Amino acid sequence: MVTSPATSANALVIQNTPNGGLGRWEAWLREGGLGLNVVAAYDGAPVPASLTDHQALVVLGGGYLPDEDDRAPWLAAARALVREAVDRGVPVFGICLGGQMLAQVAGGAVAGSHGRPEFGSTALRLRTPATEDPLFQGLPAAPTAIENHVDAITALPPGAHWLVESENCPYQAFRLDDAPAWGVQFHPETTADRIRHWNPARVEPHRAAMADEPAAVEVWHTVALRFAAQVTARAAA
């Protein structure tokens, strides 16, 4: 577990793959006042049994389904933490696999190899509920974000606020009803350069993402700081 200096609010971060870290969100969440305890679950680091001493939970991406425990045995413990966070009202942000896990734990559905895969910078559309969401309100109507998925959420949890969609993947972002818990299918933490690490042969997606990068940085920096503000405000209260 890698721990940042102590602050008034600490987030537990579950990392599911070697290359699937917090990326630029590490600096942005710290800028927002969060301490970060990163658990390298993919490398055998034990996932804590509870969120004791943590005021937020972030679950990152990975090439697994949320309940694919035979390939990634730590996922069961991660799901338990998501359940605890939702039940206790602890802020959650789930990215890609993490977003799918939040959806599944809260009563939604996820399917493997579902729909059209998305790779590279993708045009998103904010839906009407986003205008009143604490993280997404006031953002550009059609931001871009990096994608890298073949699995997808097929049904949102009951009562969830459907915030963002794309042409090929309806459920790009959501928030649970009456809970500070957000899930996204895209990768707001990932830079355009990461595309070349995922697949060096795909030059065009990399070029497109580099062109979209300045605007994307502004948007997802804002979202990261707003999530941190949700956490610190609740910790102070």
Average pLDDT over residues 184-206: 81
Q: Where does the chain have alpha helices with state H? A: 24-31, 75-88, 97-105, 194-198, 203-236
The yes-or-no verdict on residue 157 having pLDDT over 90 is yes
pLDDT at 117: 85
Catalytic residue among 96, 118, 149, 206: 96
Examine the residue annotation and report whether 96 is marked as an active-site residue of this protein: yes
Examine the residue annotation and report whether 169 is marked as an active-site residue of this protein: no
Q: Where are the domains of the chain?
A: 2-236
pLDDT at 203: 65
Query: Quick one: 2-236 is in which CATH superfamily?
Result: Class I glutamine amidotransferase (GATase) domain (3.40.50.880)
pTM of the predicted structure, to 2 decimals: 0.93
Average pLDDT over residues 112-124: 87
Examine the residue annotation and report whether 189 is marked as an active-site residue of this protein: yes
Sheet holding 92-95, edge to edge: 2-3, 34-40, 9-15, 56-59, 92-95, 181-184, 173-175, 161-166, 118-126, 144-149
The yes-or-no verdict on residue 29 having pLDDT over 70 is yes
